[in-house]
Structure 1
Amino acid sequence: MLDIKWIRDNPKALVEALVKRSWSADDAQSTVDDLIARDEARRAHLSELQVKQERRNAASKEIGNAMRSGDAALAEKLKAEVGEIKAFIQNGEARERELDKALNDALAVLPNVPLDDVPVGKDEHDNVVKRIVGEVPTRPNWVKEHFEIGEALGMMDFERAAKLSGSRFTVLKSQLARMERALGQFMLDLHTTEHGYVEVQPPLMVRDEVLFGTNQLPKFELDLFFTPHGDGRLGLIPTAEVPLTNLVREEITPHEKLPLRYTALTPCFRSEAGSAGRDTRGMLRQHQFYKVELVSITNQESSLAEHERMTQCAEEVLKRLGLPFRTVTLCTGDMGFGARKTYDIEVWLPGQNAYREISSCSVCGDFQARRMDARYKDKDGKGNRFVHTLNGSGTAVGRALIAVIENYQNEDGSVTIPEVLRPYMGGLAKIESK
């Protein structure tokens, strides 16, 4: 959530930021004008309340003076005035809550402001390649996509998954199921033993306010799954970013404890409401999938350096697996709602003859911290500041499985297991049809 004080002081900058995010200039300007008008109404109401409260306090003292001087008539008159003021204040406090909610609701659907070095563009075609790692080999004519290989091995079953749950689900069996588990364990071990992340097993269902904190609500409610709980509901996490980032919600973290680095391997659940017709074959876009998440909580001075570090941690997964990839800087029109800057890591899939996203690493500034009321104590201990939050995939396990299957496929339909995964596979070197 953006700071309304910053918006008041920098209305032109916000209009420009929204235009960079593909808003029309008219919509951006009217939105900013509306926000400032809402804040003006709120501030005017608060000022009036303060005046009334001051008058109530003064009148209460005057009642005492009138009583002591024996002026009963004046005392009664003042009591009547105080009664009217109390009623006004009571109603005024309810009105204050209404004005606060209206302003916060308007702020809650406003995207984050991109950093100055983010390329301006409309969509994925305007993203900028930052680096390419690994050479893309010449594509033999026998290369297949992951689902063709998995089905031929008898270890990937979409038909039975559809009978169980509908489309966008997969049943993995035998050595492919084990390799997916191996990939997740390998990633966790790498991030915890070499990259300094603390492993967490978080809840998979969270409250609405937690989803609000990491900006899934209210804007992306249709992308979520919910289950009834008591008189309300709980949301199934679309990513472990949600519970991991919210570990610091409504807390003040000592400066010396930062940065906090968390990782988790969890199932993730997404309705994919906006992706009808996209990637309907195979495992690329699922309602349920596993992902290793990376989350960092930093002070305000360290977040940009942490962003580079996090991205390199995610890249290291693909380097160890021997998978070709490229890292791109997302343009303003393709960047996520809560991000100030995002790097996407795209792994090479020979079956599709294309790079596809396998990780997205974002720095959010204090955007999420304001929604969570997450702060840290200054070095001097005199004040509290909002933390900066970062999140990234380290990486998507299902997509890593796809990439391994396609990049390590053999002409006879078998799949060679990368060296780094073999200890997790009981020493197995190749997956073959039985």
Structure 2
Amino acid sequence: MRDQEPGPGHPERRLTTKEAAELLGVKPETVYAYVSRGQLSSRRVAGGRGSTFDAQEVDRLARRNRRESNGSPGTGAEQSVRTRLTLIDQDRYYYRGVDATELAARHSYEEVAEWLWTGRLRTGAFTAPRASVEAARRAVDALPEHTGPTDRLRVAAIAAAVADPLRFDLSQDAVLGAARGLIPTLVAALPPKLPSHRDGGSLAQRLWGRLSWQPAAEAPLHVLDTALALLVDHDLAASTLAVRVAASARAHAYAAVTAGLGVIEGPLHGAASGLAHRLVLEVLDQGSAGPVIAEELRAGRRIPGLGHRLYTQEDPRARALFALLEEIPEAAPALAAARDIVATTARHTPLHANVDLALAVLTASCGMEASAGETVFAVARTAGWIAHALEEYGERPLRMRPSGLYVGPKPPRPLPRQGS
């Protein structure tokens, strides 16, 4: 039986484990799982067995669980987001129902982006407005020489936004027009590696001159274009979720992309390919993956380029890129190093290659810096972010507002004293 309601002179209302489980609609053992995850606090029964729970805290958790399971409007507590863009299922992934690896094998990055945006294969190159490019280049050129690629892209996106007075128009046509200009502007704002490089052609051709000191041969350029298409979207990755939060608040497309760029820089996201790049080079230098992997494990570091929480086998994006890289003789040493990494690590734990390792092989074998994979990832994913922003603009605003479960000291507390 529940204790009486708290009031003046009464202690807080406590529930038994059985009562808490009934209110939450779960089994008693699940109540203790909530405790272990920090979602509930418990108190041992004095002189007896079992625990009691704050009734108000249980009630708040029960109401939150009901909101999340119902996905009711106005709660801002959806854990799943309805989307028509990307499905990941049984170690394959699909853009609007079409196998993404097959789509990327047959169509350019620009065409795949258009498919994700509109459900149509629109041909034609993306064009960067002159004013946008000039503003972005001035802003990027003012940065310190050691500035990383994602910082350059983020600054370029902000500069491009300032150059677009129509950026606050969130209609589909306006957003897509901005996207077709923003993506090539991001590329054009990066400093070229080859002095003779001229902007023109496909986005992959323009990006190549910003990544490699080597002239673009047909086969490696095709791998880069395919990598861009494969990386356009990957469901609700961390950066994509940030984009949708920004779009939920009705931030314009440039601001939403900037939110994504802020997240992608993390070592567990877009920057992971750079770590894999360095690992591949170290294996090539040592001649074997064994001592390199041993040193990584000894230092307590995870092996980059391996494993993915959404795939039980090899990442389909990696598989597609490895197949193309096998046709490039210059990529053979880096490809062998990558396979050595996978085989050596498998003795410790059965992890498969992911797209970061495939990007590392591409960048390491084509005269690119370690950060090149991060650039490829960010430029490619910008198209997916735009697609998600467009979807979010069609939803009720500010729905991405989860409720916090407060676990701090219970109020009211006295005002703190100076220096305490």
TM-score range, shorter chain: under 0.3
- Higher Cα radius of gyration: 1
Alignment TM-score, normalising by the size of structure 1: 0.22
The structure where helix makes up a greater share of residues is: 2
The structure where strand makes up a greater share of residues is: 1
